[in-house]
Amino acid sequence: MLINRLISIAPMMECTDRHYRYFSRLIAPSVLLYTEMVTTGALIHGDYQRFLAFDPIEHPIALQLGGSEPEKLAHCAKMGADFGYDEINLNVGCPSDRVKSGRFGACLMLDPSLVAECIAAMSSAVSIPVTVKCRIGVDHQDSYEALVNFIDTVAKAGCKVFIIHARKAWLNGLSPKQNREVPPLQYDVVRKIKQDFPDLTIILNGGIKTLSHIDEQLPYVDGIMIGREAYSNPYFLSEIHDKYYPDVNKSLSRQEIISHFIPYVEQQLKKNIKLASITRHILGLYQGQPGARKWRRYISEHAHKPKAEVIIIKEALKYV
């Protein structure tokens, strides 16, 4: 299938699991969704069906992999393709210590030739797109020339789509959260990459929180990836849907979204999924609306209780 990359939701650890993706798909039917990063070790040695499972409603959906061994990445890319994913993405941007010690994520930007080997192997294993998500630099290797070399090397290996977080990553001294906030945003660097590589698809990621932010950057890149704002304020996706996908049905109201989500929740509870692991994703639905704080508080105080049922969500609706 041809993937519309105009707007996408970033892969976010402990956020973009299948419950959040189902929920966000109800709000925005057409944006491109990404899984949390899944390591090759987790898929090869763990419960791969649990990691790869998704609902058909989630299409279009991309699987993000973490790893640095070409053969293992190729194997896992094929697993993802066989499961029905529309894209396989290689994480070359996550700066956490755990990622660094495992030799994947942002530290791979320091070894473009290895990333190229990984992309070549993955691309040869699947027929769906293989893409890269990276930063504009790492530690003191943050010159524009270094970024150009990285993009050029990996593109020659077959990668045609680069999602670029417009911040550099510090592998030492900053936490993952600080790495999302402290290094300054440099949108101009991503714009210049698009100018210098016009045949590549360049997606801009980092700090985008409003429609005006999107409008400011879209003329210079091929698409925008939204991160934390899409999670903390999920109904922002309805604004995105109505503006950038006018040919699709108008977005649902918040109440309609919940009414559509409840049958899914009931289905998951029957599979012994805990209510709190699902409802944590919907706490921000009423952000900025009257009763939002009571909505969050009621769900937070009751959803974690043993044998909590969907009635908790229905009761919380009384406050909004």
- For the chain, domains (ranges, CATH) are 7-244 (3.20.20.70), 254-319 (1.20.120.1460)
**Taking the model in full, what pTM does it have?**
0.95
- The pair of structure tokens assigned to 299 is 């769900």
The answer to whether residues 131 and 159 touch, using CB atoms and an 8 Å cutoff, is yes
Question: Which residue in 76, 94, 107, 134 is the catalytic one?
Answer: 94
* Nearest residue to 150 via CA among 194, 115, 189: 115
Given a cut of 60, whether residue 155 has pLDDT beyond it is yes
Any catalytic annotation for residue 94? yes
Task: Give the model confidence (pLDDT) of 31-79 as tens digits.
Answer: 999 999 999 999 999 999 999 999 999 999 999 999 999 999 999 999 9
* Stated length of the chain: 320
Given a cut of 60, whether residue 101 has pLDDT beyond it is no
Average pLDDT for 145-150:
98
Task: Give the model confidence (pLDDT) of 298-320 as tens digits.
Answer: 999 999 999 999 999 999 999 99
Q: Determine the Cα–Cα distance for residues 14 and 286; give it in Å rounded to an integer.
A: 21
